[in-house]
Amino acid sequence: MAHLSPNHAKRIAAYARGLRELRLLTPHDFAVLDAMLWTLRKPGEAELEPAYADIARKAGVKRDTAISAVKKLVQFGLLTKAKQWVIVQWGRARGNLTARQRPNLYVFTSFPLESAVPSASTEMDILVSRVERQIVRQQADSPLERALSALAARAGFTVTA
C-alpha cells in the first residue's frame, strides 16, 4: 500500500493547477483530479479503485469526460493506471473459468525527492520547463511546421530549431 502525505497531495494539486493555468488540462480534467485526490482517495493512501461512473459523479462530469480526463492525468504523470481482473468459475461444477474486469487501480505518482521540500517557485520552474519542452516537441511535429519546412527546403532555406 503506497502512502501519500497531505503535503505530497498538495504538490500534486499544485502541479495540476499549473497544467490548468497553461491550458493543458481543462476545468473538467482538473475537477476529475480534484475528486480523485480529495474525495475518492482514502486519507494517507496513494491508491484508489473507483469505477469511472463514481469518478464522473463525484467530479460532476459525464463518464466519457472522466475517462478522457484520467487518460490525460496518466499522460502528464500524475497517476498510474492498472487494469485489474478477477477469475470467475462458472458452469456445471464450476468447471469453466472466465475473467471479469474489476475497477482500475489508480496510484498517485511519487515525484522524486519527495522528502526534500522544494520551494513553490522551483516546482513551478520544473513544471514550466517540462511543459515548454512538450509544447516545442508538439509544435515541431505539427502539420503546419512540416509544411513550412517542406516549403523552406524547396526554396533552398534550412530551418533550424
Extract the C-alpha cell encoding 26. 481543462
Nearest Cα residue to 79 out of 134, 35, 113: 35
How would residue 74 be classed by pLDDT, with cut points 50, 70 and 90?
A: very high
Residue range 76-125, pLDDT digits in tens: 889 999 988 888 888 888 888 888 888 999 999 876 444 344 445 555 56
Res 146: pLDDT:
73
Whether 109 and 79 have beta carbons less than 8 Å apart is answered as yes
Res 159: pLDDT:
60
Q: Is the pLDDT reported for residue 44 higher than 70?
A: yes
Residue range 4-27, pLDDT digits in tens: 888 888 889 988 998 899 889 999
Distance from chain centroid for Cα 106: 10
Higher-pLDDT residue of 62, 148: 62
Distance between CA 96 and CA 119 in Å, rounded? 57
Distance between CA 5 and CA 122 in Å, rounded? 20
How confident is the model over 41-50, as a mean pLDDT?
Answer: 92
Q: Where are the domains of the chain?
A: 6-112, 118-161
Quick count: other Cβ atoms within 10 Å of Cβ 142? 10
Burial class for 63, CB neighbours closer than 10 Å (0-12, 13-18, 19+): middle
Largest CA distance in the chain: 76
Res 38: pLDDT:
94
**Right CATH for 6-112 from 1.10.3720.10, 1.10.490.10, 1.10.10.10, 3.90.1150.10:** 1.10.10.10
Res 64: pLDDT:
96
